Homo-oligomer: A and B are copies of this chain.
């Protein structure tokens, strides 16, 4: 079944993310869209590099209602928002890498603008290094509904595309399936590392 295949692919992606060091100390959370208007979200407080299929909980995308006695990630409301805003999205990965954390702090603006990189083409719909890729940056907030409201408001003005950063916190990115979400994560993390190095060198 496609849904089970996506969950298995997500568990594989979590192990790969753990090996990359992008979810230290139980940080991060992940999900896939499931049938019947639901998504499956990782349980709170687990080591993301050691997740198994049974560590994902069903959540209603419209109501945020958790259809399980366990507690999903505290940031579930951002996952359901993304599934509501972007009907084509099938999988969401939220990671806490050093590069995403630092770059979102040292960039004072409301967006990270990337251009001139061939690897921008790893992002769906980007065909040239001459395109400008805009990664929105939202100030961090422990009030997830308030943060979700700000994300939704910006999406109304400028639709979300591949992902966004939360300042000092990490990256949310996604794709139509786990494979594309994983390529977007790998491409964006590569671009963040390049951009940090470039800024250090060009500051000379």
A residues engaging B (CB < 8 A)? Answer: 24-27, 96, 98-99, 101-102, 105-106, 116-119, 122, 127-130, 140, 142, 166-170, 183, 186-187, 189-190, 193-194, 196-204
Instruction: For the complex, give the distance between the alpha carbons of A25 and B168 in Å.
Output: 25
Q: Is the CB of A119 within 8 A of B201?
A: no
Instruction: For the complex, give the distance between the alpha carbons of A166 and B117 in Å.
Output: 10
Which residues of B have CB within 8 Å of A200?
Answer: 200-201, 204
Q: Which residue of B lies closest to A45 (CB)?
A: B183
**A96-B118, A119-B24 in contact; A194/B140 too (CB < 8 A)?**
no
Instruction: For the complex, give the distance between the alpha carbons of A48 and B102 in Å.
Output: 29
| A and B contact pairs by CB, cutoff 8 A, 27 listed | A24-B187, A24-B190, A25-B183, A25-B190, A27-B119, A96-B119, A96-B190, A98-B197, A101-B117, A101-B119, A105-B116, A106-B198, A116-B140, A116-B167, A117-B168, A118-B140, A118-B168, A118-B170, A129-B140, A129-B168, A129-B169, A130-B142, A196-B201, A200-B201, A201-B203, A203-B203, A203-B204
Instruction: For the complex, give the distance between the alpha carbons of A118 and B24 in Å.
Output: 12
Q: Residue A25 contacts which of B99, B129, B187, B203 (CB distance < 8 angstroms)?
A: B187
Apart from A25-B119, A25-B190, what are 20 other A-B pairs with CB-CB below 8 Å?
A24-B119, A24-B186, A24-B189, A25-B186, A26-B183, A27-B118, A27-B119, A96-B118, A96-B119, A99-B197, A101-B119, A105-B116, A105-B198, A106-B201, A106-B202, A116-B167, A200-B204, A201-B203, A203-B203, A203-B204
Instruction: State how many copies of this chain the complex holds.
Output: 4
Which residues of B have CB within 8 Å of A197?
Answer: 98-99, 102, 196
Q: Which residue of B lies closest to A198 (CB)?
A: B102
Instruction: For the complex, give the distance between the alpha carbons of A168 and B202 in Å.
Output: 14
Which residues of B have CB within 8 Å of A122?
Answer: 24-27
CB distance from A195 to the nearest CB of B (A): 9
Instruction: For the complex, give the distance between the alpha carbons of A186 and B116 in Å.
Output: 25
